[in-house]
Amino acid sequence: MKHHATEEKVKPFRLVKYFTFTSLILIFIGTLIFSLLNTHWAKTMQEKKSEEYARVLIENLNHQVFLQFIIPVALKFGKIQLSNENQFERMDKVVKSTLHSFKIDMVNIYDMDNTISYSFNHSIIGKENAGGKGYTDALKGKYTSTLIQNGNWFEILLGFPQDSRLVTFAPLRAEQPLSRISGPVLGVVEIVQDLTQDYKEIFDFQIRVIITASVVMGGLFLVLLLVVKRGEGIIEKRAQERLKLIERLNRAEHLSTLGEMVAGISHEIRNPLGIIKSSSELLKKKMVKFDPSNSIPDIIIEESIRLNNIITDFLNFAKPKSPNLSACKIEDILEKNITFLTSQIKQEGYSVEKHYDENLPEIAADADMLYQAFLNILINAMQAMPGGGIIQVSIHSADHTVKIVIEDEGEGIPKDLLEKIWDPFFTTKAKGTGLGLGIVKNIIESHEGKVSIINKPNAGSRVTIALPVNQRAS
């Protein structure tokens, strides 16, 4: 039944689980993609901002160089020659005072022949043809910026290169009074900004976003996992209840069919059976005079009684009667059972150990039906120990329930047969109808109780019966 219950559970819940976990994975992937896009947008904005920043710096530098260097030097010396130490020092002072406190890594100024005339790095002053395409575009009046990143492909791919620099080329122009820069190009300015720290901060922010998303997704995963597990438990419980109900309905239909069949033939069997039994008893009386040692009449009588008992079992199982509830004590019923079996217990080497709680409550039950159920269980316990042994009978009371436990020291029930012992007509005995435990179950369940059989850890089996105390006698 557990296997079917699992199937019932999986079928309706598989789509829910798939949708839940798939959605969680997709949300997590979407969060990562959004984080990467967000980082890309941040880098793009940072680069654009740095380009605008460089342009403003160059315009300011152009203004200061033109006013504080080009005009005064031209008036004083007649021409610009940065190879002159005094002119170079004046240019260096103007550039550094203008760019003081700004995040500028390098400044290069090219003349019209693509030669570096001024630089923070004195070693490259005088270097020819060093400007490249940026220099050419600047001569045409264009501003160009290029991002240069150094590092291996993995570092660049993930967005944390070892070195990131923005190189901006712009024309150095002559200024017209009271106007924006619009004069002729006098040279080219190259500004290099170090963006390594800015990109590192963006990368750190990206890592924090990913870690936060991972923690949030992990928390959601645990919550969803708990919800799914709880949902599985609820659905499994409902599936088991549904299967139990289906089993009861099938059992009821089976018993109904069996009851109709047994009811139809029981009278047909019992009438001739009664005639056979009475005729055999009469024959036995007459045979005493002629052949006292003849046992045939006794055999016929004995088999008639056995056949009548089998028919009675059929009727009790197929058409169980409703209990006639009245106040009774469980210990009194069991004592009656044990007293009835006393002679058999002594003759065949059995002993009964009793453990009853004090002040056991009365319950509303049909004493005769419970007597029959307990008798079947005790007989089964003795049959499980052909060479004799100890039968333990315990009665406990708790939570408005009386629990009866009957244990034997036999070999127990094979595991593959534990689920079949309640099936009608199933038996492992050479003689018997296989209805004894079925009758027991019917009787206990008619009292709104429960019965179960398990194997003990060491040896033997344990039958546990739980009967409610709060039933009312009709």
CA-based nearest residue to 442, from 265, 251, 258: 251
* Residue-level length of the chain: 474
First to last CA, the chain: 35
Identify the helix (H) or strand (E) that includes residue 306: helix 296-318
Q: For the stretch 350-369, what's the b/e string if a residue is b when 16 or more beta carbons lie within 10 angstroms of its beta carbon?
A: bebeeeeeeebeebbbbbeb
Model-level pTM? 0.44
Within 10 A of 160 (CB to CB), how many other CB atoms are there? 19
Rg, C-alpha atoms of the chain: 51
* Helix pair angle (2-65, 85-99), 10° resolution: 140
How far is residue 432's CA from residue 425's CA, in Å, rounded to a whole number? 9
pLDDT in tens, 227-238: 777 877 787 788
Which regions of the chain carry the CATH code 3.30.565.10? 323-468
How far is residue 422's CA from residue 451's CA, in Å, rounded to a whole number? 11
How far is residue 255's CA from residue 262's CA, in Å, rounded to a whole number? 10
How far is residue 303's CA from residue 271's CA, in Å, rounded to a whole number? 15
Alpha carbon separation from 158 to 35, 200, 409 (Å, rounded): 12, 11, 72
pLDDT for res 255: 63
* Region of residue 114 (left: phi > 0; alpha: psi -120 to 50; beta: else): left
Q: The domain 2-206: what is its CATH number?
A: 3.30.450.20
The burial of 252, by beta-carbon neighbours within 10 Å (0-12 exposed, 13-18 middle, 19 or more buried), is given as exposed
What does the CA dihedral 388, 390, 391, 396 come to, rounded to 10 degrees? 180
How far is residue 260's CA from residue 422's CA, in Å, rounded to a whole number? 21
Q: Are 347 and 312 in contact (CB under 8 A)?
A: no
Which regions of the chain carry the CATH code 3.30.450.20? 2-206
Alpha carbon separation from 382 to 16, 275, 373, 406 (Å, rounded): 52, 34, 15, 11
How far is residue 167's CA from residue 144's CA, in Å, rounded to a whole number? 8
| CATH 3.30.565.10 holds for 323-468 | yes
Q: pLDDT (tens digit, 0 to 9) for every residue of the chain, 474 residues total?
A: 444 444 444 455 566 667 777 777 887 787 778 777 777 787 788 888 888 888 888 888 888 888 888 888 888 887 888 888 888 888 899 998 888 878 888 999 999 889 998 998 988 988 988 888 999 999 888 999 888 888 777 666 666 677 888 899 999 888 766 555 467 888 889 989 888 888 788 778 778 877 887 788 778 878 877 877 787 778 778 888 888 888 878 877 776 676 667 666 766 776 777 778 777 777 777 776 677 777 777 788 777 777 776 676 666 665 666 788 889 999 999 999 999 888 888 888 889 999 998 888 988 998 888 998 898 889 888 888 888 888 999 999 888 899 999 998 888 777 766 666 666 655 666 555 556 677 788 888 888 889 888 888 887 888 999 999 865 544
pLDDT for res 50: 85
